[in-house]
Structure 1
Amino acid sequence: MHSNNNWRDRATMARKAKRITLDALAERLDMSTPGVQKWLDGTRQPSVDDVNRMAHALKVLPAWLTHGLEPEDMLDGLQGKARDVLRALIMAERSGPLPDALWTSIEATLRLVRPQSTTISSTQPAPGIQNLLEVKPAVSTSDFAPSPTSRAK
C-alpha cells in the first residue's frame, strides 16, 4: 500500500487509478519499462523535466505529482483581487499567526456568499461560526421607517 508521501507513490497511485500499465506508461514516456520501474522504486532519480513528462503522461498536474498540491490549494489561475488578497493573507500568516477571529470572520463571510460550499477547510468550522451565521441584524429596515409621531403634521 502506498502512503502518497512522495512523487513516486503519487505516480503509482495515479497510474493504477487510471488503469495505465507500467508498459503503457513507459511507452508514453518513450522509455523502457525497467527504466520507468527504476524511477518508481527509487533506484534511479529522474530529472525535473522527466517528472514533468510523467505528470503529462499520467494526465495529472506537475504540482500534484511533485508536491501533492491539489488545484484548489494553489493560486494559479486566480486573477486580480482574489489572487492579491489571498497572497497577502498567506504572507501575513507566514510572518506570524493571524488572530482566530479574522479566520472565523472570513469563513463566515464565505459561507454567507457561497452557502452551497459545504467544505471550506478540512477541519471543523471554528467555534462559534454557526452562531455568527444565526445572529440577527442589530438594525432592521423598520428602524429607518418614520414613526407615527415623527411624521410632519
Structure 2
Amino acid sequence: MSVSVSVQEQAFDVGAEYAGLRNGNWADGATAMFVGSVRDFNLDSAVSCMELEHYPGMTERVLQDIAEKAQRRWALGRVRVVHRVGRLGAGDDIVFVGTCAPHRQAALEACAFVMDFLKTRAPFWKKEKGPDGERWVEARQSDSDALEKW
C-alpha cells in the first residue's frame, strides 16, 4: 500500500504515471485514472490560460490526507495524485489521480472520491485569463453536492 502526492509546476506524463502505478503491482487487477485539463472556455467566456496558486505545505498535506482516506476506505494498493500549479495554457493537463485495487469497482469509486474531495477541500486558487480580462474561479455548488454521496 502506498500513497504518493506531488504539487508541481512542470508537466506530467500520463503514461509514466500509469506505468508507475502498475510497476510491480500485480496484486491489483484494476487501475482507474482521471486526468483534468484546462478548458478553453468557462461560463460562456473564452479562456487562454489559467494561473493556479496553492498554499505550499498545507496543500500537500490535504491531498495526502484525502488519498489516505480513500486507501483506508477501499483497501487500495496504490494511490497517486499529481496537481500542477503556476501558469497553464488551454489544453494543458492540471491534475492526475490514479488508484489501484484488486477489483474495478473499488478503483473507480476511490478515484472519484479523491477527485470530489480534491475539488472542494484542497487549497488551490484559480484565475482564468481571456480576451475579456481576468477572473477568479468561484467554487461550484455541483462540486460540493458531489461530496454528499460519500
TM range (shorter): under 0.3
Higher helix share: 1
Higher relative contact order (CA 8 A, sep 6+): 2
Query: Whose radius of gyration is greater, 1 or 2?
Result: 1
Higher strand share: 2
